[in-house]
Amino acid sequence: MAYSECKWCYGNGCNQCETERRKAVAKWEKDGPQPIFTAKLDDPDAMQALNRVCGREALVEAFGPDGRGVKDIELNACIENMLDILKIENPIEG
């Protein structure tokens, strides 16, 4: 079976294709996609942030006529992650 990204034959078919494919799959499983946003179920602030990322209103806005779909969801997740980092780095006392 030829593996299209084989570093030896570049997908033409050789005896290393399967080995190269297994290496790529292992790397993907190790370094593969991570969740764009996580929230602790017992934290009310985190649940509100989750709602802003992928709640009903966020989804309607993202996939509505003027929305950008998944890009809007990713942007919302990025913003919430940054806000979370800022809260950790600069806690509000009081």
Owning domain of residue 15: 1-33
E-strand stretches of the chain: none
Claim to verify: residue 82 and residue 53 sit in the same structural domain: yes
22 plus 53 within the same structural domain: no
Q: Is there a single domain that holds both residue 54 and residue 17?
A: no
84 and 52 together in one domain: yes
If one compares 44 and 36, the residue with the highest pLDDT of the two is 44
pLDDT at 94 over 70: no
In the block, tokens 């990713």 appear at 74
- pLDDT exceeds cutoff 90 at 64: yes
Average pLDDT on 24-52 reads: 88
CB-facing half-sphere around the CA of 55: CA atoms within 13 A: 9
CA–CA dist 74, 39 (Å, integer): 15
Same domain, 24 and 48: no
| Domains held by the chain: number | 2
The pTM assigned to this predicted structure is 0.59
Shared-domain flag, residues 24 and 61: no
